[in-house]
Structure 1
Amino acid sequence: MAGRRAAAGGWIPDQHGAWAMLAVPYLAGTLLAPRPGPQHVLLFAAWLLGYAAAFHAQQWLRLRTRGLRSARRHARPAVVFGAAFAAAALPVAAAYPWLVAAGALAAPFVAVNTWFAWRGRERALANGLAAVLPACGMLLVAARLGGAGLPWAAALACLLYFAGTVPYVKTMIRERNSRAYYRGSVAYHAAALAVAGCLAPWLALPFAAYLARAAALPGRALKPPAVGAVELCCSAALLAAVVLLF
């Protein structure tokens, strides 16, 4: 583990939950599309590179605002990832100009995340929720890119799950002693289960499991790697359910 961190040189963002949130909706939209193709690979690369560039730019801003010299270590990754993002995004945007409008819709959410980074409040609940919306919206982008319509129900299913991970993970780590967060997380997951059942009856099965883990796991002193492993399984179950049911 330490060797891999050293090899990455601090360039790869260590927000593990973010990678699942970026990948699952995009992959679901691609798999739901009738004509997935090379354009999906190129846009997926741009999507991940854009996230890495934004992450380092926001970290640079956060640390620079506080006058910390450590901000410099984020400058080069931000520039390199930004250039790589442009190289991947420009060809696919030229072929599909409507992607520019889709990117413009995501821009306000990126601005919100940047504001929270500038204020040093990246762990705020609102900041996490602001990141979830465009990530789940990428399901619609990937589906349309492959010739599908706009599978709103599938995107909503992803939104229900990933929005719930924001308060749930807090109950496992930073807010593990907060009864208010715990009650809010369980209440949210109960509501999400009801909505998921309306979207597709079989979708209630994974969401019942999500509710069970939100109710049962907080307070059990699980370490972050174990929490991450559980969420990886939950994300894989979501991807399978969305592709099979929609």
Structure 2
Amino acid sequence: MSPKHGISPWVPNQHGAWAMLIAPAVAGTIASLNYFLTDATEGELTWRGPTAVFATLVAWFFGYFTFFALTLVAKARTPQRRSAYARPTYVYGPITAIAAAVTLLAHPALIVWAAFFGPLMSLALWETFHGRPRSMASGISTTLASALLVPVLWMAAHHVGFGAIDKQVWISYLFLALYFSGTVPLVKSMVRERNTPGFVRLSVLLHVGALLIFLAACALSAVRITVPIILMAIILALALLRAWWIPRDAARGHTWTAKKVGKCETPLVIAATLVTVASLY
């Protein structure tokens, strides 16, 4: 289907989703390359690590392309559009399956992640096929799934078991998961729920909770407090501040469209990605 006749099912058009796709992929890939080039010994560096990382990235992106097409199928109102939207799944689906198979061939222990991605993506699909593609549950489940790519790529690169994942990696995952999850209620407070009483307060409280959860996790895990960890806390604090300020500024009469909110979010997304990369070094 041409974009002239509606949304193209071949290329996802959600800019926020692209940020959630790319940020953990960039952080995990750079950390993997750093390991391959500087930290891995000659005995540790085999074909399995690089193959597992590359295949995981292919499965990740094409898996999302498949998911995006399925969401359009779920929302299609005519059989013609449903058929057109389904076409990419016949291309992207097999590519995803082949890439996933190659990943497991290179590192079979990665199958453990099915226990995490399965429920999260099933929840998102459930919400979509029940007419709630932009619900809080759907949005947060996909953000939690996207951040998981960081420990997945780390495990793939190091060719270790699930239990060997470094706590610094888990903190990095938690940071990205909390940060991107916060963007869901923020955007809703400015678009779909802007007239819902108390929703802005809920958004702010969720951001407060995110910051407290991050600080508690750092304290309980006894992770080494480094500059990246401190910057992560600052970014979550800034995210809390903008969750309060943007709706307040809109209430004063200033126009805040979803596109404008997205542009305002860009510096924080870039900062979150860079800090995550730094934390994994």
Check whether TM > 0.5: yes
Q: Which amino acid aligns with 1:26?
A: A
Any idea what SS the aligned residue of 2:155 has? helix
Match of 1:17 in 2: 16
Q: How many residues align?
A: 240
State yes or no: 1:112 paired with 2:130: no
Distance 1:240 1:179 in 2: 36
| Percent sequence identity over aligned pairs | 31
Work out the CA distance in 1 between the residues paired with 2:212 and 2:231: 12
Match of 2:41 in 1: none
Give the CA deviation at 1:38: 5.3
Match of 1:135 in 2: 146
Q: Provide the C-alpha distance between the structure 1 equivalents of 2:230 and 2:94, rounded to a whole number of angstroms.
A: 44
Tell me, in whole angstroms, the C-alpha distance in 2 between the residues paired with 1:92 and 1:201: 34
Q: Deviation string for 1:110-148 (max 9, x for gaps)?
A: 211121111111111111112122211111101111217
CA distance in 2, matches of 1:242, 1:211: 19
Q: Alpha-carbon deviations, 1:60-112, whole Å to 9, x = none? A: 2343xx66532111111111111222233322221111223313431122211
Write out aligned runs for 1:20-59 (5 A): 20-33=19-32, 34-35=35-36, 37=50, 39-59=52-72
Q: 2: distance between equivalents of 1:245 and 1:96?
A: 25
The alpha carbon displacement at 1:165 in A equals 0.9
Q: Does the 8 Å CA contact 2:25/2:150 hold for their aligned counterparts?
A: yes
Name the structure 2 match of 1:83: 94
d(CA) in 1 for partners of 2:96, 2:141: 21
Deviates more, 1:114-123 or 1:100-109: 100-109
Which one-letter code corresponds to 2:95 in the other structure? Answer: A
Partner residue of 1:178 out of 190, 196, 199: 196
Q: Aligned partners of 1:204 and 1:104: how far apart in 2?
A: 29
5+ residue gaps, structure 2, are: 37-48, 219-228
CA positional deviation for 1:157: 0.6
Q: Given the alignment of the two structures, is residue 70 of structure 1 paired with residue 81 of structure 2, yes or no? A: yes
Identify the residue that residue 245 of structure 1 maps to in structure 2.
Answer: 279
- How many angstroms does 1:193 deviate by? 2.6
- 1:244 maps to a residue whose letter is A
User: Is residue 2:178 matched to residue 1:160?
Assistant: yes
1:229 maps to which residue? 263
Q: Secondary structure at the match of 1:217?
A: helix
Q: 1:143/1:61 Cα in 2 relative to 1: closer, same or farther (>3 Å)?
A: same
CA drift of 1:53 comes to 0.7
Map Cα deviations across residues 221-242 of structure 1 (whole Å, 9 max, x no partner): 2222222222232211111122
Q: For residue 206 of structure 1, report the CA deviation from its aligned partner.
A: 1.3
Q: Tell me how far apart the structure 2 counterparts of residues 231 and 13 of structure 1 sit (CA, whole Å).
A: 19
State TM-score, norm by structure 2. Answer: 0.77
In the alignment, the residues of structure 2 paired with residue 17 and residue 106 of structure 1 have an alpha-carbon distance, to the nearest angstrom, of 20
The one-letter code matched in structure 2 to 1:190 is V
Whether 1:217 and 2:216 are equivalent positions in the alignment is: no
Which range is displaced more, 100-109 or 27-36? 27-36
In structure 1, the gaps of 5 or more residues are none
1:170 Cα deviation from its structure 2 partner: 0.5
